[in-house]
Protein backbone atom coordinates (compact mmCIF):
# COMPACT_ATOMS: atom_id res chain seq x y z
CA UNK A 1 0.00 0.00 0.00
CA UNK A 2 2.88 2.37 0.82
CA UNK A 3 4.36 1.96 -2.67
CA UNK A 4 1.00 2.94 -4.21
CA UNK A 5 0.86 6.07 -2.06
CA UNK A 6 4.42 6.98 -3.08
CA UNK A 7 3.56 6.52 -6.77
CA UNK A 8 0.42 8.66 -6.46
CA UNK A 9 2.28 11.37 -4.54
CA UNK A 10 5.01 11.49 -7.17
CA UNK A 11 2.47 11.67 -10.01
CA UNK A 12 0.52 14.48 -8.33
CA UNK A 13 3.61 16.55 -7.50
CA UNK A 14 5.05 16.02 -10.99
CA UNK A 15 1.78 17.14 -12.56
CA UNK A 16 1.67 20.41 -10.62
CA UNK A 17 3.80 23.06 -12.30
CA UNK A 18 5.21 24.76 -9.15
CA UNK A 19 6.50 21.43 -7.75
CA UNK A 20 7.35 19.67 -11.03
CA UNK A 21 11.02 20.61 -11.26
CA UNK A 22 11.71 19.75 -7.62
CA UNK A 23 9.85 16.44 -7.90
CA UNK A 24 11.80 15.36 -10.97
CA UNK A 25 15.08 16.17 -9.25
CA UNK A 26 13.93 14.10 -6.27
CA UNK A 27 12.75 11.20 -8.47
CA UNK A 28 15.48 8.82 -7.20
CA UNK A 29 14.15 9.21 -3.67
CA UNK A 30 10.62 8.38 -4.76
CA UNK A 31 11.95 5.33 -6.62
CA UNK A 32 13.91 4.28 -3.55
CA UNK A 33 10.80 4.44 -1.37
CA UNK A 34 8.68 2.67 -3.97
CA UNK A 35 11.13 -0.21 -4.44
CA UNK A 36 11.77 -0.68 -0.72
CA UNK A 37 8.09 -0.71 0.20
CA UNK A 38 7.38 -3.25 -2.55
CA UNK A 39 9.53 -5.86 -0.78
CA UNK A 40 6.43 -6.87 1.18
CA UNK A 41 4.91 -8.21 -2.04
CA UNK A 42 8.00 -10.11 -3.21
CA UNK A 43 9.88 -11.53 -0.18
CA UNK A 44 13.46 -12.46 -1.04
CA UNK A 45 13.16 -15.83 0.71
CA UNK A 46 10.77 -16.93 -2.04
CA UNK A 47 13.65 -16.74 -4.53
CA UNK A 48 16.56 -18.27 -2.59
CA UNK A 49 17.11 -20.10 0.68
CA UNK A 50 17.86 -18.06 3.80
CA UNK A 51 21.38 -18.09 5.22
CA UNK A 52 21.21 -18.22 9.01
CA UNK A 53 23.93 -20.55 10.27
CA UNK A 54 26.56 -19.98 7.56
CA UNK A 55 26.86 -16.25 8.17
CA UNK A 56 26.81 -16.73 11.94
CA UNK A 57 29.59 -19.31 11.85
CA UNK A 58 31.67 -17.21 9.44
CA UNK A 59 31.33 -14.22 11.77
CA UNK A 60 32.36 -16.29 14.77
CA UNK A 61 35.34 -17.69 12.89
CA UNK A 62 36.56 -14.33 11.58
CA UNK A 63 35.56 -11.90 14.32
CA UNK A 64 34.60 -14.06 17.29
CA UNK A 65 35.44 -12.91 20.82
CA UNK A 66 36.84 -15.54 23.17
CA UNK A 67 35.25 -15.55 26.62
CA UNK A 68 35.13 -17.90 29.60
CA UNK A 69 31.77 -19.12 28.31
CA UNK A 70 33.19 -19.84 24.86
CA UNK A 71 33.50 -17.93 21.61
CA UNK A 72 30.87 -15.30 20.87
CA UNK A 73 30.06 -13.22 17.85
CA UNK A 74 30.42 -9.46 18.52
CA UNK A 75 26.64 -9.02 18.63
CA UNK A 76 26.33 -11.59 21.41
CA UNK A 77 29.19 -10.00 23.35
CA UNK A 78 27.68 -6.52 23.11
CA UNK A 79 24.28 -7.86 24.21
CA UNK A 80 25.98 -8.57 27.55
CA UNK A 81 28.54 -5.73 27.63
CA UNK A 82 26.79 -2.43 26.96
CA UNK A 83 26.29 0.91 28.67
CA UNK A 84 23.73 3.72 28.65
CA UNK A 85 25.99 6.25 26.89
CA UNK A 86 26.73 3.84 24.04
CA UNK A 87 23.06 2.85 23.85
CA UNK A 88 22.00 6.49 23.53
CA UNK A 89 24.65 7.34 20.94
CA UNK A 90 23.82 4.18 18.98
CA UNK A 91 20.20 5.25 18.70
CA UNK A 92 21.18 8.75 17.60
CA UNK A 93 23.51 7.38 14.94
CA UNK A 94 20.94 4.95 13.55
CA UNK A 95 18.27 7.64 13.32
CA UNK A 96 20.54 9.44 10.85
CA UNK A 97 20.81 6.69 8.25
CA UNK A 98 18.11 7.96 5.83
CA UNK A 99 17.21 11.46 7.13
CA UNK A 100 20.77 12.81 6.77
CA UNK A 101 21.13 11.80 3.08
CA UNK A 102 17.69 13.28 2.37
CA UNK A 103 18.57 16.52 4.16
CA UNK A 104 21.87 16.66 2.26
CA UNK A 105 20.01 16.27 -1.05
CA UNK A 106 17.60 19.06 -0.11
CA UNK A 107 20.47 21.28 1.00
CA UNK A 108 22.24 20.82 -2.33
CA UNK A 109 19.04 21.51 -4.25
CA UNK A 110 18.00 24.64 -2.38
CA UNK A 111 21.54 26.06 -2.25
CA UNK A 112 21.59 26.17 -6.07
CA UNK A 113 23.64 23.00 -6.52
CA UNK A 114 20.87 21.12 -8.33
CA UNK A 115 23.29 19.13 -10.48
CA UNK A 116 25.04 17.80 -7.39
CA UNK A 117 21.66 17.13 -5.76
CA UNK A 118 20.46 14.92 -8.60
CA UNK A 119 23.91 13.36 -9.03
CA UNK A 120 24.01 12.35 -5.37
CA UNK A 121 20.41 11.14 -5.41
CA UNK A 122 20.96 8.89 -8.44
CA UNK A 123 24.21 7.55 -6.97
CA UNK A 124 22.34 6.79 -3.75
CA UNK A 125 19.69 4.90 -5.72
CA UNK A 126 22.37 2.99 -7.65
CA UNK A 127 23.96 1.83 -4.39
CA UNK A 128 20.54 0.76 -3.14
CA UNK A 129 19.77 -1.23 -6.28
CA UNK A 130 23.06 -3.12 -5.95
CA UNK A 131 22.25 -3.77 -2.29
CA UNK A 132 18.71 -4.89 -3.10
CA UNK A 133 20.08 -7.34 -5.67
CA UNK A 134 22.31 -8.69 -2.90
CA UNK A 135 19.25 -9.18 -0.70
CA UNK A 136 17.62 -11.37 -3.33
CA UNK A 137 20.74 -13.25 -4.40
CA UNK A 138 21.64 -14.12 -0.81
CA UNK A 139 18.82 -13.74 1.73
CA UNK A 140 20.47 -13.62 5.14
CA UNK A 141 19.28 -13.39 8.72
CA UNK A 142 20.71 -10.71 11.02
CA UNK A 143 22.53 -11.58 14.27
CA UNK A 144 19.47 -10.89 16.43
CA UNK A 145 17.59 -13.59 14.52
CA UNK A 146 20.18 -16.28 15.30
CA UNK A 147 20.38 -15.05 18.90
CA UNK A 148 16.58 -15.16 19.40
CA UNK A 149 15.33 -17.88 17.07
CA UNK A 150 18.28 -20.18 16.43
CA UNK A 151 19.25 -21.38 12.98
CA UNK A 152 15.91 -22.50 11.56
CA UNK A 153 14.36 -19.92 9.21
CA UNK A 154 10.87 -18.91 10.30
CA UNK A 155 9.08 -17.14 7.48
CA UNK A 156 7.06 -14.00 8.16
CA UNK A 157 9.19 -13.26 11.22
CA UNK A 158 8.38 -9.72 12.41
CA UNK A 159 11.06 -7.06 12.68
CA UNK A 160 12.99 -6.78 15.92
CA UNK A 161 14.53 -3.71 17.57
CA UNK A 162 17.31 -5.85 19.09
CA UNK A 163 19.81 -3.64 20.96
CA UNK A 164 18.08 -0.47 19.77
CA UNK A 165 15.34 -1.28 22.27
CA UNK A 166 17.70 0.03 24.94
CA UNK A 167 17.54 3.48 23.30
CA UNK A 168 13.74 3.38 23.42
CA UNK A 169 13.89 2.37 27.09
CA UNK A 170 16.31 5.20 27.89
CA UNK A 171 14.27 7.90 26.16
CA UNK A 172 10.84 6.53 26.99
CA UNK A 173 9.89 6.90 23.33
CA UNK A 174 9.13 3.84 21.19
CA UNK A 175 10.93 5.17 18.12
CA UNK A 176 12.64 2.00 16.98
CA UNK A 177 9.75 -0.24 18.01
CA UNK A 178 7.65 1.77 15.57
CA UNK A 179 10.26 1.63 12.82
CA UNK A 180 11.12 -2.06 13.03
CA UNK A 181 7.52 -3.09 13.55
CA UNK A 182 7.03 -2.08 9.91
CA UNK A 183 10.28 -3.59 8.61
CA UNK A 184 9.69 -4.66 5.02
CA UNK A 185 12.50 -7.19 4.81
CA UNK A 186 13.80 -9.05 7.87
CA UNK A 187 16.07 -11.43 5.95
CA UNK A 188 18.13 -8.70 4.32
CA UNK A 189 21.31 -8.48 6.36
CA UNK A 190 23.73 -8.74 3.43
CA UNK A 191 24.94 -6.23 2.48
CA UNK A 192 24.32 -3.68 5.24
CA UNK A 193 22.92 -0.63 3.50
CA UNK A 194 23.00 1.10 6.86
CA UNK A 195 26.77 0.95 6.45
CA UNK A 196 26.59 2.30 2.90
CA UNK A 197 24.32 5.34 3.12
CA UNK A 198 26.44 7.79 5.09
CA UNK A 199 29.57 6.64 3.28
CA UNK A 200 28.00 7.65 -0.04
CA UNK A 201 26.90 10.91 1.57
CA UNK A 202 30.47 11.54 2.73
CA UNK A 203 31.81 10.80 -0.77
CA UNK A 204 29.51 13.39 -2.36
CA UNK A 205 30.11 15.94 0.34
CA UNK A 206 33.82 15.78 -0.47
CA UNK A 207 33.28 15.60 -4.24
CA UNK A 208 30.95 18.61 -4.23
CA UNK A 209 33.45 20.59 -2.13
CA UNK A 210 31.28 21.16 0.92
CA UNK A 211 32.84 22.66 4.04
CA UNK A 212 35.43 20.35 5.59
CA UNK A 213 33.54 20.14 8.88
CA UNK A 214 30.38 19.00 7.06
CA UNK A 215 32.26 16.12 5.45
CA UNK A 216 33.88 15.30 8.80
CA UNK A 217 30.46 15.24 10.47
CA UNK A 218 29.13 12.86 7.84
CA UNK A 219 32.19 10.64 8.25
CA UNK A 220 31.74 10.63 12.04
CA UNK A 221 28.09 9.61 11.73
CA UNK A 222 29.09 6.99 9.17
CA UNK A 223 31.57 5.32 11.52
CA UNK A 224 29.01 5.60 14.33
CA UNK A 225 26.46 3.72 12.23
CA UNK A 226 29.02 1.01 11.45
CA UNK A 227 29.60 0.56 15.17
CA UNK A 228 25.89 0.67 15.98
CA UNK A 229 25.02 -1.96 13.37
CA UNK A 230 27.23 -4.48 15.19
CA UNK A 231 26.72 -3.15 18.74
CA UNK A 232 22.94 -3.55 18.57
CA UNK A 233 22.97 -6.97 16.91
CA UNK A 234 21.40 -5.74 13.68
CA UNK A 235 24.34 -6.67 11.49
CA UNK A 236 27.43 -8.82 11.44
CA UNK A 237 30.83 -7.24 10.86
CA UNK A 238 30.75 -9.12 7.55
CA UNK A 239 27.53 -7.31 6.58
CA UNK A 240 29.08 -3.93 7.38
CA UNK A 241 32.19 -4.66 5.31
CA UNK A 242 30.05 -5.76 2.37
CA UNK A 243 27.95 -2.61 2.79
CA UNK A 244 31.11 -0.52 2.51
CA UNK A 245 32.09 -2.39 -0.64
CA UNK A 246 28.58 -1.84 -2.03
CA UNK A 247 28.87 1.91 -1.43
CA UNK A 248 32.24 2.09 -3.17
CA UNK A 249 31.23 -0.09 -6.14
CA UNK A 250 27.86 1.63 -6.53
CA UNK A 251 29.43 5.08 -6.51
CA UNK A 252 32.09 4.06 -9.02
CA UNK A 253 29.52 2.47 -11.35
CA UNK A 254 27.25 5.49 -11.21
CA UNK A 255 30.08 7.99 -11.73
CA UNK A 256 31.26 6.02 -14.76
CA UNK A 257 27.75 6.16 -16.25
CA UNK A 258 27.32 9.83 -15.33
CA UNK A 259 30.58 10.89 -16.95
CA UNK A 260 29.85 8.90 -20.10
CA UNK A 261 26.49 10.65 -20.37
CA UNK A 262 28.18 14.03 -19.94
CA UNK A 263 30.72 13.19 -22.65
CA UNK A 264 27.94 12.06 -24.97
CA UNK A 265 26.14 15.36 -24.42
CA UNK A 266 29.32 17.33 -25.11
CA UNK A 267 29.99 18.53 -21.55
Is residue 165 within 8 A of residue 176, CB to CB? The reply is yes
Q: Give the integer Cα–Cα distance in Å for 128 and 134.
A: 10
What percentage of the chain exceeds 90 in pLDDT? 83
Q: For residue range 192-251, what is the model confidence (pLDDT) as tens digits?
A: 999 999 999 999 999 999 999 999 999 999 999 999 999 999 999 999 999 999 999 999
Structural domain boundaries of the chain? 1-41, 47-264
Q: For residue range 25-64, what is the model confidence (pLDDT) as tens digits?
A: 999 999 999 998 888 788 888 889 999 999 999 999 999 9
**Buried b or exposed e, range 52-63, using 16+ CB within 10 angstroms:** beebbebbbeeb
Q: 267 falls in which pLDDT band (50, 70, 90)?
A: low
Whole-angstrom CA distances from 47 to 133, 139, 163, 223 are: 11, 9, 29, 33
Q: What's the 3-state SS for 196-262?
A: HHHHHHHHHHHHCCCCHHHHHHHHHHHHHHHHHHHHCCCCCHHHHHHHHHHHHHHHHHHHHHHHHHH
Q: What is the pTM of this model?
A: 0.94
Amino acid sequence: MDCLLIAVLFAVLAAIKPTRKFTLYMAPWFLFGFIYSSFNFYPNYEFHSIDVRGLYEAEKSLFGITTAAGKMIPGEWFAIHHCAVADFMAGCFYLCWVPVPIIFTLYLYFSNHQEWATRFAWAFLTVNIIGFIGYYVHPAAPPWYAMNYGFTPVLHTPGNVAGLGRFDALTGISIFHGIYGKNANVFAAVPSLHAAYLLVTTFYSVMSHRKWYVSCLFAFICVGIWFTAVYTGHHYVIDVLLGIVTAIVGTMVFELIWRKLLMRNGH
